[in-house]
Amino acid sequence: MLGAILLFVGVPLGINAFVCGSTMGSIESVSEAKTNAVDQDNQAIVVLGAGINFDGSPSDILKDRLNIAIDLYDAGVAPKIIMSGDNSESSYNEVMAMCNYAISQGVSPDDIFCDHAGLSTYDSMYRVRHVFGVNRCIIVTQNYHLYRALYDARSFGIDAHGVPSDLREYAGMDDYEQREFLARIKDFAQGILNTEPETKSEPVSLYQSGTVTQWW
């Protein structure tokens, strides 16, 4: 019985420790990302969705991701931004809210690519690699989420670095952390099983205008 309990507790803890420990060395500050950009030759900055308000504007947690990504884009860290989020229902378009916010902050629409089928972090990173053809990128999200995003990216052979976007205190962080603990285990298993997302798409070249991916 004791052995079963230790296994039940120890395996999830071990997986979480491995996911975090194997990726923490690839997390950079904004200033470090700007300094390292020349050597990294990033193809894109990837912003992961995080919910929108009732009026269609980005939530605080998402707005901070977008603001960091825009800062990095303006500094020339990467020439394109990939917005990956949930557009599973016609009435809910997380991705275009992200896109429109970036355009309002001066980002060229040509440089914004929208992934409307980024329904999970795992799916988003799968699509960054297999739909958008990215081999090197910067991922922007809050620190608690970066470990899993980087782990997923590496599972698909992407040379990824992460920049945290923790610009304020967020309500409900205890819940976020608890869900993230379980999500790391899920993505670890998906990586081992090499599962594919339900939504498949034709390849999208980053050498064209991103406006071809922008729709409501």
Q: Which domain, by its residues, includes 128?
A: 2-213
Give ∠ CA 188-40-155 in degrees, rounded to 5.
Answer: 15
Neighbouring-strand partners of residue 81: 45, 112
CATH number at residue 28: 3.40.50.620
- pLDDT category of residue 90 using cuts at 50, 70 and 90: confident
Sign of the torsion angle spanned by Cα atoms 61, 64, 68, 73: positive
188 has pLDDT over 60: yes
User: What would the pLDDT profile of 42-85 be if each residue is shown by its tens digit?
Assistant: 999 999 999 899 888 999 999 999 999 999 999 999 999 999 99
Confirm if 126 and 198 have CB atoms less than 8 A apart.
no
Selection from 4-18, 57-71, 192-206 with the highest mean pLDDT: 57-71
pLDDT number for residue 87: 86
Please count the structural domains in the chain.
Answer: 1
17 has pLDDT over 60: yes
pLDDT number for residue 3: 56
Give ∠ CA 76-164-36 in degrees, rounded to 5.
Answer: 40
- Cut 0.75: pTM above it: yes
